[in-house]
C-alpha cells in the first residue's frame, strides 16, 4: 500500500492545530459555560475568575467563583476561593463527568459584591422587596390607647348596619302586609256576612221553592266566605313566619353591639393575651425571614438532585440540567450517571473560623446510583462559638418518595449588640447573650415539618424607653431588662409553598406576670368607654327598629283574629253551632 505522505502530514498538522487551538481556548470556553449554566440555575449572576484544564492528568481547577444571592443582588450567597478535581478519563470518553474527589477551600457566605449580580432589573426590583421583607425587624406596637371618637369614626359597626337594615326590611313588609289586609274579613265584611246568614235563617218557610232558593243563596255565601278565609289564612301564615324570622334577626341585632365592643377592644387595646403576641412577634419576624430564605434555596436546588430521568419509547431519557434536548441512555454493564462527584471535601469560612465537611454522591441522577446525597460538617472551639454541626441526606433516588432531612446543632454562640425592636417608643437591643440552637428539618415530597429550639442564657437586654413613653411601655422595658434567660421554640408545618410558622417563648410568662394586671385594668377602662360610645350610636336605630317590629306584631294579632272570625262564620253557616239554616232543618252538604 502506498502511503500518501503529503496527505498524512497535512492531516496531522491540521489536527494538531485544531487540538492546540481548542486547548488554548478551552479554559475560556469552560469558564463561560460554567457562568452561563450557573446563572441560569440560580437566577442571578454566577462569575468565575479563572478555569484551568489539564490533560495529564485530566482535571480542572476553578478559582474565584462567586454566586450572587438572587434575593440580594449586591451580596454573594457563596464565594469559593478554589475548587480542584480530577476527572475519570475513561468515562470522559463516554461523555460522562465522574469525579472521585473534589476539594474546595475558602468557601464563604454572604460576602459583599462590588456590582449588582441581578440578571435583569425586574429581578432586582423583586429581590429588593424580598430583602426588605426578610430583614424586617419587629416594630413594637403602640402602648397608647386610641381616642374612642377617632376609633368609632373610622370603624364600621356591624350592630348599626344590622339595626338599620332590619328596620328597612320590617317597614317594607309592614306596609305590604297592611295593604293586603285592607278589606280582607274586616268589620264591615263580617257584619255583612252575618246579616246574610241571619236572613237565611229567617227564610225557613216557603215550601220546595223556598228550600231551593235558600240552598242556592247559602252555597253562594259559603263560596264567598271560603275565598276570604283562604286569602286571610295565606296572609296570616306569611305574617307569622315573618314575625318568627324577625325575632331571630332582632336577637342577632341585640347581640351585635357586644360583638363590636369585643372586636374593637381586641384590635385597639393591649390585652394580657396580646403580650404573648409581642414576644412571639419579636422572634417570629426574624425566624420567618430565615425560613423563607432557606426554602428559597431549597426550591432552586431540588430540581438538580434527581428525578431527571423519564421513560420515552421504553428507553430511559436523561434531561440535562440545562433543560435543552435529551440524552438517550442505553443498557450499560455498570450504569453510571452523566455527572457524579463521589466525594467533595469542603472547607468553609464563617465569622467564627473554619469548619470542614464532606458532601458525598453529588449527582442529578440518584436513581442510577441508588444512594442519596449526604453531607456532614462540623467545627469546634471557634471564636465566639463552642461547636457547630450540620448533617443530613437529600434522598431523591425514588422520585415518587422524596425524603430530605437536615439537622443543625450549635452550642455556645456568643451574641452582642443585636437589634430586637426598632420601635421609637421602646427600642430593644440584645447587648449580650449566649445561645444554643437546634434545627431538625424534614421534607416528604411537598410536605415539610421543621422544629427549631433556641435557649438563651446570660441575657442582658437594653430597653431604651423614650421619655414620652406610656406606663405600659416603661413597665414592659423594666420587665424585659430583668430577664436573664429564656427559650424560644418554633414549628414550621404545611407545604413548601404554603407553610405556617408557630412560635412560642417563655418570655410570655414573665411579661404576663409583670404587666398582666396593669394591662387588664387599662383594657377594662377602654372597654367601658368603647361600650358607651357604641351604644350611643346604636341605641337610636335599635329603638326605631323595635318600634317597627311592634307594628308587625300587631298586624299578626289582627290577622289571626280576622281568620278566627271567618272560621266562626263558616261554622255558623254550616249549622255546626246553631243548627240547620235551611227550611225544614235540612243540612247543607258542606
pLDDT digits (tens, 9 = 90+) for 198-239: 887 776 555 555 556 677 888 888 889 999 899 999 999 999
Residue 579: pLDDT band by 50, 70, 90 thresholds? very low
**pLDDT for 154:** 84
Q: Nine-digit cell at 2?
A: 502506498
Q: How far apart are CA 299 and CA 43, in angstroms?
A: 12
Candidates 449, 529, 461, 451; CA nearest to 490 is 451
Give yes or no for a contact between 384 and 394, defined as CB atoms under 8 angstroms apart.
no
Which three cell numbers mark 136? 424586617
Q: Are 573 and 221 in contact (CB under 8 A)?
A: yes
* Digit-coded pLDDT (tens) for 132-170: 444 444 555 555 667 888 888 888 899 999 999 999 999
What's the confidence (pLDDT) of residue 526? 84
How is residue 442 annotated by DSSP?
Answer: E
Is residue 290 over pLDDT 50? yes
Peptide bond into 278 cis (omega under 30): no
CA–CA gap between residue 175 and residue 319 (Å, rounded): 75
Residue 93 pLDDT greater than 70, yes or no: yes
Mean pLDDT of 387-403: 92
**Higher pLDDT, residue 584 or 149:** 149
Confirm if 357 and 365 have CB atoms less than 8 A apart: no
Average pLDDT of the chain to the nearest whole number = 81
570, 197 Cβ separation under 8 angstroms: no
3-state secondary structure of 107: strand
pLDDT at 55 over 90: no
What is the Cα 581 distance to its own chain's centre? 79
Cα pseudo-dihedral 309, 314, 315, 319, rounded to 10: -30
Nearest of 398, 353, 390, 350 to residue 374 by alpha carbon: 390
Q: Is the pLDDT of residue 307 over 60?
A: no
For the chain, the maximum distance between any two Cα atoms, rounded to a whole number of angstroms, is 155
Please tell me the distance from the alpha carbon of residue 514 to that of residue 533, in angstroms, as a whole number: 31
Residue 92 to residue 99: CA distance in whole angstroms = 10
Q: Rounded to an integer, what distance in angstroms lies between the CA atom of residue 431 and that of residue 411?
A: 19
Lowest mean pLDDT among 66-80, 82-96, 507-521, 550-564: 507-521
Which has more confidence, 389 or 274? 389
Q: What is the spatial distance between Cα 379 and Cα 385, in angstroms, rounded to a whole number?
A: 9
Phi, psi angles (nearest 5°) of residue 578: -115, 0
Contacts 24+ apart (CB under 8 A), 89-95: 89/57, 89/58, 91/336, 92/58, 95/338
Q: Which residue has the higher pLDDT, 325 or 555?
A: 555
Higher pLDDT, 284 or 464: 464
Whether 486 contacts 459, CB under 8 Å: yes
For the ranges 21-30, 169-178, 539-548, 552-561, which has the lowest average pLDDT? 21-30
Q: From the CB of residue 247, how many other CB atoms can be counted at a distance below 10 Å?
A: 12
Structure confidence at residue 584 (pLDDT): 44
What is the DSSP annotation of 128-140? HHHHHHHTPPPPP
CA distance between the termini of the chain: 133
Q: Which of 10-19, 217-226, 288-297 has the lowest mean pLDDT?
A: 10-19
Neighbours of 429 (CB within 10 A): 15
What's the pLDDT score for residue 209?
55
Closest Cα partner for 113 from 146, 150, 68? 68
CA distance 588 to 175: 40
What does the pLDDT look like over 522-531, one tens digit per residue?
A: 778 888 888 9
Going by C-alpha positions, the residue among 518, 534, 522, 537 that lies closest to residue 268 is 522
- Cβ neighbours of residue 240 under 8 Å, at least 6 residues apart? 556, 560
User: How many angstroms separate the CA atoms of 304 and 350, rounded?
Assistant: 26
More confident: 253 or 474: 253
Is 90 exceeded by the pLDDT of residue 456?
Answer: yes
Strand partners, 457: 434
pLDDT digits (tens, 9 = 90+) for 278-288: 666 677 767 77
**What is the per-residue pLDDT for 218?**
82
Question: Which of 115-119, 393-397, 474-478 reaches the highest mean pLDDT?
Answer: 393-397
- 8-state DSSP, 161: H
pLDDT above 60: residue 73: yes
Bigger pLDDT: 336 or 100?
100
Distance CA 500, CA 447 (A): 12
Residue 304: pLDDT over 80: no
Query: Of 45-54, 333-342, 528-537, which gets the smallest average pLDDT?
Result: 333-342
For residue 142, the model assigns a pLDDT of 56
Helices 507-574 and 272-301, axial angle in degrees (round to 10): 100
Amino acid at each position: 500500500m502506498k502511503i500518501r505522505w503529503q496527505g498524512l502530514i497535512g492531516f496531522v498538522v491540521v489536527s494538531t492545530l485544531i487540538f492546540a487551538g481548542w486547548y488554548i481556548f478551552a479554559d475560556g470556553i469552560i469558564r463561560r459555560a460554567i457562568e452561563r449554566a450557573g446563572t441560569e440555575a440560580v437566577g442571578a449572576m454566577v462569575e468565575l475568575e479563572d478555569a484551568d484544564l489539564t490533560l495529564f492528568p485530566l482535571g480542572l481547577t476553578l478559582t474565584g467563583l462567586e454566586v450572587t444571592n438572587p434575593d440580594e443582588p449586591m451580596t454573594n450567597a457563596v464565594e469559593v476561593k478554589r475548587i480542584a478535581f480530577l476527572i475519570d478519563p475513561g468515562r470522559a470518553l463516554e461523555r460522562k463527568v465522574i469525579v472521585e474527589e473534589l476539594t474546595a477551600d475558602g468557601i464563604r457566605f454572604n460576602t459583599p459584591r462590588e456590582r449588582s449580580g441581578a440578571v435583569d432589573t425586574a429581578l432586582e426590583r423583586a429581590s429588593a422587596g424580598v430583602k426588605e421583607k426578610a430583614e424586617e425587624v419587629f416594630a413594637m406596637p403602640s402602648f397608647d390607647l386610641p381616642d374612642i371618637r377617632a376609633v368609632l369614626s373610622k370603624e364600621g359597626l356591624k350592630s348599626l348596619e344590622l339595626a338599620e337594615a332590619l328596620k328597612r326590611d320590617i317597614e317594607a313588609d309592614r306596609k305590604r302586609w297592611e295593604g293586603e289586609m285592607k278589606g280582607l274579613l274586616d268589620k264591615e265584611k263580617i257584619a255583612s256576612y252575618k246579616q246574610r246568614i241571619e236572613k237565611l235563617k229567617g227564610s225557613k218557610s216557603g215550601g220546595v221553592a223556598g228550600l231551593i232558593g235558600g240552598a242556592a243563596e247559602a252555597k253562594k255565601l259559603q263560596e264567598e266566605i271560603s275565598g276570604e278565609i283562604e286569602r286571610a289564612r295565606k296572609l296570616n301564615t306569611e305574617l307569622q313566619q315573618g314575625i318568627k324570622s324577625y325575632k331571630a334577626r332582632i336577637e342577632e341585632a341585640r347581640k351585635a353591639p357586644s360583638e363590636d365592643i369585643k372586636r374593637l377592644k381586641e384590635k385597639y387595646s393591649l390585652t394580657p393575651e396580646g403580650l404573648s403576641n409581642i414576644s412571639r412577634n419579636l422572634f417570629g419576624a426574624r425566624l420567618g425571614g430565615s425560613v423563607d430564605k432557606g426554602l428559597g434555596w431549597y426550591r432552586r436546588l431540588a430540581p438538580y438532585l434527581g428525578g431527571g430521568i423519564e421513560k420515552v419509547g421504553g428507553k430511559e431519557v436523561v434531561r440535562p440540567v440545562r433543560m435543552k434536548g435529551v440524552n438517550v441512555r442505553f443498557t450499560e454493564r455498570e450504569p453510571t450517571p452523566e455527572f457524579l462527584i463521589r466525594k467533595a471535601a469542603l472547607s468553609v469560612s464563617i465569622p467564627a473560623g473554619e469548619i470542614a465537611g464532606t458532601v458525598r454522591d453529588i449527582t442529578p441522577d440518584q436513581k442510577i446510583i441508588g444512594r442519596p446525597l449526604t453531607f456532614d460538617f462540623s467545627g469546634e472551639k471557634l471564636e465566639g462559638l463552642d461547636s457547630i454541626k450540620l448533617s443530613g441526606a437529600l434522598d431523591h433516588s425514588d422520585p415518587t418518595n422524596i425524603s430530605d432531612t437536615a439537622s443543625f446543632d450549635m452550642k455556645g454562640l456568643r451574641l452582642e449588640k443585636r437589634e430586637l425592636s426598632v420601635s421609637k417608643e421602646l427600642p430593644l437591643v440584645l447587648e449580650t447573650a449566649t445561645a444554643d440552637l437546634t434545627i431538625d428539618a424534614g421534607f416528604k415530597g411537598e410536605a415539610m415539618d421543621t422544629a427549631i429550639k433556641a435557649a438563651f442564657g446570660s441575657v442582658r437586654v437594653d430597653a431604651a424607653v423614650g421619655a414620652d413613653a406610656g406606663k405600659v411601655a416603661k413597665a414592659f422595658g423594666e420587665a424585659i431588662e430583668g430577664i436573664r434567660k429564656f427559650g424560644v421554640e418554633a414549628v414550621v408545618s404545611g407545604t413548601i409553598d404554603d407553610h405556617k410558622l408557630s412560635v412560642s417563648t417563655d418570655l410570655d410568662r414573665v411579661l404576663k406576670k409583670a404587666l398582666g394586671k396593669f394591662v387588664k385594668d387599662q383594657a377594662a377602662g377602654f372597654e367601658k368607654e368603647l361600650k358607651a360610645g357604641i351604644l350611643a350610636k346604636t341605641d337610636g336605630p335599635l329603638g326605631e327598629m323595635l318600634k317597627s317590629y311592634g307594628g308587625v306584631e300587631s298586624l299578626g294579632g289582627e290577622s289571626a283574629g280576622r281568620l278566627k272570625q271567618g272560621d266562626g262564620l263558616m261554622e255558623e253557616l254550616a249549622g255546626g253551632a246553631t243548627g240547620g239554616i235551611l227550611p225544614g232543618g235540612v243540612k247543607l252538604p258542606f
